[in-house]
Amino acid sequence: MSSAHEALQLVDRYGRVARDLRVSLTDKCNLRCSYCMPAEGLDWIPNPDLLTDDEVIRLVRIGVSTLGINAIRLTGGEPLLRRGLPSLVRQMISIPGSPEVSLTTNGIGLSQLAQPLASAGLSRINVSLDTLQADRFVELAKRDRLADVLDGLAAASAAGLTPIKVNAVLMRGINDDEAVDLLRFCGTHGYQLRFIEQMPLDPMHGWSRDRMITADEIQQQLERAVTLTAAAASRGSAPAELFRVDDGPQLVGIIASVSRPFCGACDRTRLTADGQIRNCLFAREESDLRSLLRSGADDDQIAHSWVRAMSTKAAGHGIDDPTFLQPDRPMSAIGG
Ligand code: SAM
Ligand code: SF4
């Protein structure tokens, strides 16, 4: 590879440099979380459009070897549904530069996959869990799978995929009374809980700013039961504001994606399961690397196309802007 090639960076006009790659491995899912997918599912990406394992690895290799990517998070849809996931992880980790590879999952199937993934070199895992009540889980995710998620969490812990982070989205009148229960559960099991403000990314367009449970509300709810002290002076490019619980070892994160956006420090670039680069969750445009690579483009051409895609990244998501429009693709197809 040429030296000019090695100097490439995924930098935008505001000077932000992307080093964290989110790879969506599938848009399909075995749950139907109400903020993410309608009960009947979606029109899935046609199979021929999905990147093959070799294509995913080639793009990730270009990102790591040429464009300065040093962290990869596998997501979806539900990434555990991707066949041969441990092998994909192993191949990513063996790319020169040894990127850190982590996973965001709903936890279903993790009881079987946690150990193979840990053996393949997966470094960390985030498991999404919005309720500890089985009947609510069904209401929220349209499937009776809470026990599988809890088993998955235990298996991840046993496999040493620590620190395990648990992601929770609170919704008004649905699970917004569970913040403290989730905190206690995570404290007992040694998981790090992170609350994420709900974002307008659902294809049903059910989100509204005034119904959203804000980070401040979450903090106030927790502070009625525990003492929170800021655990870090600055969150850097990490989206979560971290708090220590009752001056003990437990940490809790609150991700104020909407009310206190962290776009100014964003270091992410996203690859969809059908090979499109998105420079933001909320981007309205994508860059088609799949067509490029299938038409025989070399690594250099692909790298430059990726650089161009990132250079036009908007300053912020603009959710509070009156002209805000949701992206055409839902979160499950973009990769959360
Ligand atoms: N299926 C996996 C899971 O649920 O963890 C990975 C994909 S999911 C899209 C990634 C994360 O996005 C999950 O933690 C989920 O709760 C979160 N998410 C999905 N839709 C969201 C929304 N509208 N607002 C905020 N978070 C959302
Ligand atoms: Fe599936 Fe994750 Fe979306 Fe829930 S949030 S429907 S688990 S992709």
**What does 160-219 look like in DSSP terms, one character per residue?**
T--SEEEEE--BTTTTTT-HHHHHHHHHHHT-EEEEE---S--TT----TTTBPPHHHHH
Residue to mutate, 78, 164, 169, ligand 1, most ligand atoms under 8 Å from C-beta: 169
Rounded to whole angstroms, the Cα distance separating 182 from 132 reads 7
Contact partners, residue 80, CB within 8 Å, separation at least 6: 105, 106, 108, 109, 110, 113
Locus of tokens 């913040």:
179
For the record, the structure tokens of 22 come out as 């989110």
Rounded to whole angstroms, the Cα distance separating 25 from 106 reads 14
Give the position, in ligand 1's atom list, of the atom nearest the Cα of 76.
7
Give the position, in ligand 2's atom list, of the atom nearest the Cα of 331.
3
Give the position, in ligand 2's atom list, of the atom nearest the Cα of 36.
3
Calculate how far, in angstroms, residue 336's C-alpha sits from the geometric centre of ligand 2.
9
163 prior amide bond cis, ω within 30: yes
Calculate how far, in angstroms, residue 36's C-alpha sits from the geometric centre of ligand 1.
7
Calculate how far, in angstroms, residue 112's C-alpha sits from the geometric centre of ligand 2.
19
From 278, 166, 257, 176, select the one nearest 222 (Cα to Cα).
176
Measured by CA distance, the residue closest to atom 19 of ligand 1 is 36
Measured by CA distance, the residue closest to atom 4 of ligand 2 is 33
Ligand nearest to the CA of 212: 1
Rounded to whole angstroms, the Cα distance separating 186 from 250 reads 9
* Residue 244: Cβ-neighbour burial (10 angstroms; 0-12, 13-18, 19+): middle
Distances (CA, A) of 124 to 114, 157, 274: 10, 10, 25
Per the CB < 8 A criterion, the answer to whether 284 and 328 are in contact is: yes
pLDDT value, residue 3: 43
Measured by CA distance, the residue closest to atom 12 of ligand 1 is 336
| CA dihedral sign of residues 20, 50, 167, 217 | positive
Ligand 2, pocket residues at CB < 6 Å = 29, 31-33, 36-37, 76-78, 106, 128, 332
* Residue 21: Cβ-neighbour burial (10 angstroms; 0-12, 13-18, 19+): buried
Taking each helix axis from N to C end, the angle separating 299-311 and 53-67, rounded to the nearest 10 degrees, works out to 70
CATH of region 20-334, choose from 3.20.20.70, 3.50.50.60, 1.10.510.10, 3.40.50.720: 3.20.20.70
Backbone angles phi and psi of 56, in degrees to 5: -60, -45
pLDDT per residue of the chain (336 residues) written in tens, 0 to 9: 444 445 799 999 999 999 999 999 999 999 999 999 989 988 899 999 999 999 999 999 999 999 999 999 999 999 999 999 999 999 999 999 999 999 999 999 999 999 999 999 999 999 999 999 999 999 999 999 999 999 999 999 999 999 999 999 999 999 999 999 999 999 999 999 999 999 987 777 878 888 899 999 999 999 999 999 999 766 666 678 999 999 999 999 999 888 888 888 899 999 999 999 999 988 888 899 999 999 999 999 999 999 999 999 988 887 777 777 777 777 777 777
